[in-house]
Structure 1
Amino acid sequence: MDPGYVVSDEEEKVGMSDEQKALIPELPQTVKLRRCGYCMLKQPMRAKHCQLCQHCVRRYDHHCPWIENCVGERNHPVFVAYLAVQLVVLLWAFQVAWSGLYFEQSWEWLKHNFFLLLSFLLITIFTVVAMLLLVSHLYLVACNTTTWEFMSRHRISYLRHCEAENPFDRGVVLNLWRFFCACRLVAWETMYSPEEDNPA
């Protein structure tokens, strides 16, 4: 699904109902958006150009090889739900594989149960990976930061010049509510307060 691709002002308004237009965030008149060096679109704060998708993505988190798509402002909550469902399925498969194991110390038993042991080992590895991914994404959501911002803070201009650890953090409860319950795009420029005079 659309992760929140940045489009030009003209494209954004075409074919939209008044209700859809109301979901577009309003920017303060004083805010100047920078242009992307690749697609030359005005890039809102927290957006990044994805080299693999060839699009700028709003509140860019990462490009996920599992879903072959970017994870951004529009599909990040669905991605977290996807990770949770994957974890539940893997835990169920783990339980099924474990219930099928009965241990005997014989070569014959090992020959007959080799694929079951191998699948149990793979399920264990995938379960640990899915659990770590889900926990890390829930932590980042609770802090209102993205994987890209967390990993590349020193290279991102609006974070590099900011004294606050995270200028978008509004507390765990409000961060989680905005992430999972708010149905509209956010103008992050209105929340940003760098606490110094350097421009973002």
Structure 2
Amino acid sequence: MDLQHSDAIMIMGSNMAECHPVAFRWPMKAKARGAKLIHVDPRFTRTSAMANTYAPLRAGTDIVFLGALVNYIINSKRWNEEPFFKEYVTSYTNAPTLINPEYKGPEDLEGLFSGWDAKTQKYTTKTWAYQTEMAANEQPGNQPTQGQTPGGQPSQGQPTQQAGTPSTQPNQPGDDAQSFGARVGKLVGPPPTQDRTLQDPQTVFQIMKRHYA
């Protein structure tokens, strides 16, 4: 377990010592080799008793606590001077991913997010989606139909097929795999657009930075 090699471990909202005693041995091994164990929870439990630091907070204020940590980190000297942190964030989180340019946050809309419907008292999340770039050959209408070349002309040696006529072509090897891949691709969608410099104002990082400023 990687936990035993950690230098600092924060357990939040979990009484790990009693609820997951087998897994809790790994934080204890890390602590034995000098790691700092931090427990954040409204209740003082056995996990709190084993921690180096117990941070009590009021129930329901978890996001405020985490937002304060985010604000502290991105304004810290280590974040701005040590490349490891930015390399990790850009490679292993969604921080560089771009959000729909129509997205607006509470700082722009007096405490509300974009998509709020006052009549239904609900949010529509269309503007919260990632930006994506579809390749030109994936755009609708750019795929040649059966019996046509990419220019739209009937291909030589390939009989055209009338609509509604069952295909007489035998299944080719890999057809099932390709159709499955296509179905999965439709569910997953194209990859999101990213700005690995983290400078674009619509990156998740910049939105989060404004939100917790």
- TM beyond 0.5: no
Structure with higher helix content = 1
Using the size of structure 2 for normalisation, the TM-score is 0.25
Higher relative contact order (CA 8 A, sep 6+): 1
* The structure with more radius of gyration: 2
